[in-house]
Amino acid sequence: MLSPPLHSGAGAGSGVRPLNIVIIGGGISGLAAAYRIRRAVPDAAITLLEADDRVGGKVRTERADGFTLEAGPNGFLDSKSSTIQLCRDLGLGERLRVASEGSRKNRYLFLNGELQKLPGDPLGLLRTPLLTFRGKLAMLAEPFRRRPGRLPDEESVAEFSRRRFGREAADTFVDALVTGIHAGDPERLSVRAAFPRLVKLEAEAGSVLRGFLRAAKVKKRLARERGEVSQPQRMWSFDGGLGVLIEALRDSLGPIVQTGIGVRSVVRAEAGYIVRGDGNDRWPADVVVHAAPASAQAETLRDLDPSLAAELATVKFTPVHVVLLGYRAEDAPLAPDGFGYIAPQNTRRDVLGVQWCSAIFPGRAPPGMVLWRALCGGINRPDVAAWPDGELVAAVHREMQLAMKVTAAPVFARVVRWPQAIPQYEVGHMARLERLDALAARHPGLILAGNSHRGIALNDCTEQAEWIALRVAGIAGK
Ligand SMILES: Cc1cc2nc3c(=O)[nH]c(=O)nc-3n(C[C@H](O)[C@H](O)[C@H](O)COP(=O)(O)OP(=O)(O)OC[C@H]3O[C@@H](n4cnc5c(N)ncnc54)[C@H](O)[C@@H]3O)c2cc1C
């Protein structure tokens, strides 16, 4: 029985007893929330319960045979400041490493049996063989295309991009973007939920391209005012991988974090909630931050509110498995200085894309070796996700022979399976969020968090932690 006693006395936030906060799920969402809440409400009693025997969730770095292996995310962007700021607050600022310049500039598609470089700027767009002359014209006409007066509440990513950029660009570039980030289907994903910035740019500037150019100008001006040089968007990690961030969070939180504890249910108590684990374990809580995936939120909140649980259960996930392969450099004649390639889902290949890990962050492979990782599965290839490890490795190696011209078998292979890798924000997700907000509002102190709701990037999870801390501080009367 691990439960701290629920102190008697005045209600939560009165200052008589500390606020009891239970966070469910120790992925980056739960860990960052715990860290931010502790800073905002230092006298709160916080407990973080994680079902697994390790924290980090999808963020997992392993080391084997001299390779540094990322099982989940590879890095985070500086398009938002929340993750970089979290790293700095944890004292990790000096250890941050930016991805190689080549990986920022050189990204490819695998189309028609060969790697084709993605254009990196407007001139590249004019020259790219990936679009016909008509396709280029349609794309370049985007700033002059008016936004229709009446639009459906939620357009799909494909509808939005066809409307703005034309069919060819939508099929080529937008499918690749969706494959690379969501492993999802552009016809089904909601543009407002999955790519809110595109919708905002169109609404504010009348055009996505014009909006981007304006935002770049503002960024440059602000940098100049600070006496800095404006940098393009870059990706970050650590020499030791993203596990460094997770270890620092875990060390900083100390005994707040309890692993190996799967929450079974959350029920109402006289004041607040009781969080139940296996057996007789119970934790009283004034505030519950539920940062597990929506499927687990649904299961554990069923007793509390069947309608809320039913709504949460409608979030779909797609499986993605990560196949990490190490090759001898001499067997990998095409080892470009770049990020990797995407095989758009509409090509239905066995591999969704490949990241050249040791080119993105040098030091990920031992000397004389390269480390690549392939992502397999996604919304359109659940059949591939069902293949056993050996078959996955063989399929990815075959693909490496074709796309990367490798001449020998890999010397290292590791498969990491994520059956529920990425929540799919399909059309209707925004309406679901509204319903979820209304249902959750019936339960004061219950906060739904995690990547199933308002963003899947690490930045979204760490930014969410900041507003959760503000909300909890409000409950605590800080
Ligand atoms: C292959 C892959 C590559 C990615 N690449 C990138 C990238 O490069 N950059 C980027 O920004 N993002 C990337 N992402 C997305 C990002 O990694 C995730 O969105 C993010 O890590 C999710 O964090 P989370 O804490 O919300 O959820 P999770 O990481 O899923 O954590 C949820 C936690 O809750 C725990 N849990 C579940 N049920 C219970 C229960 N009943 N009781 C207690 N605990 C429970 C789980 O064990 C888990 O630890 C990638 C994701 C994947 C899968």
CA–CA distance, 329 with 400 (Å, rounded to integer): 13
465 touches 253 (CB < 8 A): no
CB of 27 sitting under 6 A from ligand 1 = yes
Q: How many domains does one find in the chain?
A: 3
CATH code, 300:
3.50.50.60
CB of 464 sitting under 6 A from ligand 1 = no
Q: What is the pLDDT of residue 280?
A: 84
CATH code, 209:
1.10.3110.10
26 touches 450 (CB < 8 A): no
Q: Are 173 and 210 contained in the same domain?
A: yes
Q: Which residue has the higher pLDDT, 53 or 228?
A: 53
Which numbered atom of ligand 1 lies nearest the CA of 264? 41
Q: What is the pLDDT of residue 478?
A: 76
CB of 357 sitting under 6 A from ligand 1 = no
CB of 182 sitting under 6 A from ligand 1 = no
Q: What does residue 264 show for φ and ψ, rounded to 5 degrees? A: -90, -45
Measured in Å, residue 242 CA sits from the centre of ligand 1 at 13
Residue 234 lies inside a defined structural domain of this protein = no
Q: Are 45 and 71 contained in the same domain?
A: no
Q: Are 140 and 189 contained in the same domain?
A: yes
CB of 293 sitting under 6 A from ligand 1 = yes
Residue 232 lies inside a defined structural domain of this protein = no
Which numbered atom of ligand 1 lies nearest the CA of 59? 21
Which numbered atom of ligand 1 lies nearest the CA of 458? 11
- Domain boundary residue among 192, 225, 258? 225
Q: Are 217 and 248 contained in the same domain?
A: no
Which numbered atom of ligand 1 lies nearest the CA of 58? 29
- pLDDT, mean of residues 312-330: 97
CB of 456 sitting under 6 A from ligand 1 = yes
Q: What does residue 402 show for φ and ψ, rounded to 5 degrees? A: -75, -50
Tokens of 296: 């687990």
Query: What range does the domain containing 133 cover?
Result: 120-225
Q: What is the pLDDT of residue 360?
A: 98
CB of 423 sitting under 6 A from ligand 1 = no
Q: Is the pLDDT of residue 345 over 90?
A: no
CB of 186 sitting under 6 A from ligand 1 = no
Q: Are 336 and 414 contained in the same domain?
A: yes
For residue 16, name the pLDDT band (cuts at 50, 70, 90): low
Residue 396 lies inside a defined structural domain of this protein = yes
Q: Are 257 and 337 contained in the same domain?
A: no
Q: Are 297 and 350 contained in the same domain?
A: no
Measured in Å, residue 61 CA sits from the centre of ligand 1 at 13
Residue 13 lies inside a defined structural domain of this protein = no
- pLDDT, mean of residues 402-410: 96
Q: Are 48 and 67 contained in the same domain?
A: no
- The pairing of strands 257-259 and 76-77 is unpaired
Q: Are 156 and 250 contained in the same domain?
A: no
- Residues of the chain above pLDDT 90, percent: 86
CATH code, 397:
3.90.660.20
Q: What is the pLDDT of residue 4?
A: 42
- pLDDT, mean of residues 150-163: 92
CB of 50 sitting under 6 A from ligand 1 = yes
Residue 145 lies inside a defined structural domain of this protein = yes
H helices present in 166-318, as ranges? 167-169, 175-182, 191-194, 196-205, 208-225, 243-253, 294-301, 306-312
The pTM for the full model equals 0.94
Q: Are 151 and 182 contained in the same domain?
A: yes
Distance of CA 46 to the CA centre of its chain: 25
Q: Are 137 and 219 contained in the same domain?
A: yes
Residue 261 lies inside a defined structural domain of this protein = yes
Measured in Å, residue 154 CA sits from the centre of ligand 1 at 26
Q: Is the pLDDT of residue 250 over 60?
A: yes
Residue 7 lies inside a defined structural domain of this protein = no
- pLDDT, mean of residues 458-476: 97
Q: Are 320 and 391 contained in the same domain?
A: yes
Residue 51 lies inside a defined structural domain of this protein = yes
Q: 172-175 — which CB contacts under 8 Å span 24+ positions? A: 172/109, 172/111, 172/130, 172/131, 172/135, 172/344, 173/118, 173/130, 175/344, 175/345, 175/346
With the most atoms of ligand 1 within 8 angstroms of its CB, the residue from 58, 59, 62, 303 to mutate is 58
